A and B are shown apart, each in its own frame.
Chain A
Amino acid sequence: MTEATLDERLTGRSLPRRLLSRPELGSVVGAVAVFLFFSLAADAFLQPSSLGTVLYASSTIGIMAVPVALLMIGGEFDLSAGVMVTTSALCSSMFSYQMTANVWVGVGVSLLVTLAVGFFNGFVLTRTRLPSFIITLGTFLMLTGLNLGCTKLISGTVATKSISDMQGFDSARAVFASHLTIGSVDLQVTILWWLGLVAVATWVLLRTRAGNWVFAVGGSADAARAVGVPVARTKIGLYTAVALCAWISGQHLLLSFDVVQSGEGVGNELLYIIAAVIGGCLMTGGYGSAIGAAVGAFIFGMTSKGIVYAQWNPDWFKFFLGAMLLLATLLNHWVRKRAEAAT
């Protein structure tokens, strides 16, 4: 009796239900809606040149949204991610300028410093077991202060000196801030970085042991620890990944503008988190995807530029973003309820 009735209750999952259980679903539906909306509202939105602009805006957020999404799947936040980008840019700029070194040397030093900040976040978190919200809020404030303080101390102003005439600048710019024109579409190299990162992150998340561990430490750290997953190492690794991407993002910031304003980056950490949440990451961890976060960043890009093309007051942008966030979270909540529903 048991076998037969069990089988009847276990109905196969149809294609729509499979799709429904994907974390990206909400963001893809949202992206299509936003795209259609601005296609109708703004004539300039569908022009090929706009595509480049939208993708560029998406990529600047997207490069950071990917590791932030991974970190959220791993059950933690990083509020210092926004200013860490600025720290990274300031670091390479000032090191190269003050030491009159090749720009690449500054870029390398910046990599080490940024990774150290990420490691610090992860190390303190795993040692103290305090909420990541508090720890990274602390790092956020400290970095904000350090950015302003050190820049004023060294440069005398709130911005760094231009490094555009220094050795290695052109080759560094080619890697981090070049652009490519195809027809009338101007594509920034950050788009490549972004797509590459999404691909690597998705592969790591779904097809490697490390990815399995990320889901596990976010879903239930105690269960993961009990079966032998190195929880601390996984979390520290995630914070280091955020730092690595902050470095990429920071080098782009520096090399596309020559100078860096030391007060930049504050508030961006929330944009990364918003992109990840719209993309289906749960605030509580254990669920989400890198592709979702990329779509979330794309929604961000479309909305921020679409409002300009529609010639509206940009003040409305934040309203749209907020509404999108609420809708996405409601949808994700509903999806998780279904996924967790025990018989």
Chain B
Amino acid sequence: MTAPLVELTDVSKFYGNIKALEGVSLEVRGGEITCVLGDNGAGKSTLIKIVAGLHQHDGGSYRVEGEEVRHNSPREALDRGIATVYQDLAVVPLMPVWRNFFLGSEPRRGRGPFKRLDVRTMRETTRAELLRMGIDLRDVDQPIGTLSGGERQCVAIARAVYFGAKVLVLDEPTAALGVKQSGVVLKYVAAARDAGLGVVLITHNPHHAYLVGDRFVLLKRGAMAGSHTRSQITLDELTRQMAGGSELEQLSHELSRPGVAADGLGPRNA
């Protein structure tokens, strides 16, 4: 069996004396979706930043296709085929769609000091790539800020796929979206998987995760709370673990109304 596209083993990260992440392992294979689930503050963002190359890990190992790496910048991660789509950092709102699509990897023509953007190719490619994802833009010149949240996510995903990403890291792609828009985005996540990419899907929604995921990694307070393949876990169990399991039972106990919950009926002031 070939090495996974991305493999983290016992990775830790400290900010000063604060433990942000400890002993987290994760693997992503081509054509598979690995979901990272966790509540706010569980260490999801730290994990994504290490994979994306914005931060370096302090302990454990980070392998890309079997090779130990340490990315010093997002550029290095990109060059290894790891593209990250951030929840709100994906695009520059005031710039036209086509400029956003190629930002950081602009195709150029001409030579020497007259090297210039290949504007026509940029416009046409943007339109064609978005059309492939089912977004029909009349005007690729409109600022990307005028697109809906789901459309912006799709532009970012289309961009990563176009630039030959092998691994797509998606940071809460459905967090700010409605039900229908979430469905559209998940459809493209699945499409990227079918195209052979490995996907890391970060989310706190177990329902979305279970719809598309092959592996599930649960994080809690910076540590790994569970790691399962799809065959090992049901949606109910995933939801229960995600919601905190025993903590949830405790919460339900605390929130239960005395008199009402205890016997189900009967006046409270009896």
Contact = CB atoms under 8 A, between A and B. Distances in A.
Interface stretch (A140-148, A188-196, A214-222, A260-268): A214-222
B65 to A, nearest CB: 20
B261 interface: no
B93 A340 contact: yes
Nearest to A12: B138
Interface in B135-149: 136-139, 142-143, 145-149
A339 B92 contact: no
Interface in A175-195: none
Nearest to B142: A13
A286 B117 contact: no
Contacts of A129: none
Interface string B105-126: 1101000000111010000000
B74 A225 contact: yes
B16 interface: no
A339 B78 contact: no
| Chain B interface category by residue count | 35 or more
Interface residues of A, number: 32
A274 B146 CA distance: 28
Interface in A204-241: 207-209, 211-212, 215-216, 219-220, 222-229
Contacts of A13: 139, 142
A15 interface: no
A323 interface: no
The secondary-structure label for the interface of chain B is: loop
Contacts of B221: none
A169 B9 CA distance: 70
Of A6, A203, A227, A341, most buried by chain B (CB within 10 Å of CB) is A227
A315 interface: no
Given A224-B103, A225-B74, A342 B145 contact: yes
A208 B116 contact: yes
A226 B84 contact: yes
A3 B184 CA distance: 13
Interface string B61-84: 000000000000111001000001
Contacts of A229: 103-104
A207 B94 CA distance: 17
Contacts of B90: 223, 226
A165 interface: no
A207 B103 contact: no
B86 interface: yes
B158 to A, nearest CB: 14
Contact of A215 (B94, B119, B138, B148): B94
Contacts of A212: 99, 102-103, 106, 117
B71 to A, nearest CB: 12
B147 A219 contact: no
Nearest to B115: A208
Contacts of A286: 92, 94-95
Given A209-B106, A340-B93, A227 B74 contact: yes
A226 B54 contact: yes
Given A212-B99, A215-B95, A226 B142 contact: no
B104 A343 contact: no
Contacts of A224: 92, 103-104
A343 B147 contact: yes
A287 B94 CA distance: 7
A153 interface: no
A13 B142 CA distance: 9
B108 A209 contact: yes
Of A211, A219, A287, A339, most buried by chain B (CB within 10 Å of CB) is A219
A209 B143 contact: no
Contact of B92 (A203, A209, A223): A223
Interface of A: 3, 6-7, 10, 12-13, 203, 207-209, 211-212, 215-216, 219-220, 222-229, 286-287, 336, 339-343
Given A215-B99, A223-B91, A223-B92, 17 more contacts: A6-B136, A10-B138, A12-B138, A12-B139, A203-B116, A207-B117, A209-B115, A212-B117, A215-B95, A227-B78, A228-B105, A286-B94, A286-B95, A339-B94, A342-B149, A343-B146, A343-B147
User: 9 closest Cβ contacts across the A-B interface?
Assistant: A227-B104, A219-B92, A228-B104, A228-B75, A220-B92, A209-B106, A286-B94, A207-B116, A219-B94
8 contacts: A12-B138, A12-B139, A13-B139, A208-B108, A226-B74, A227-B103, A228-B74, A342-B148
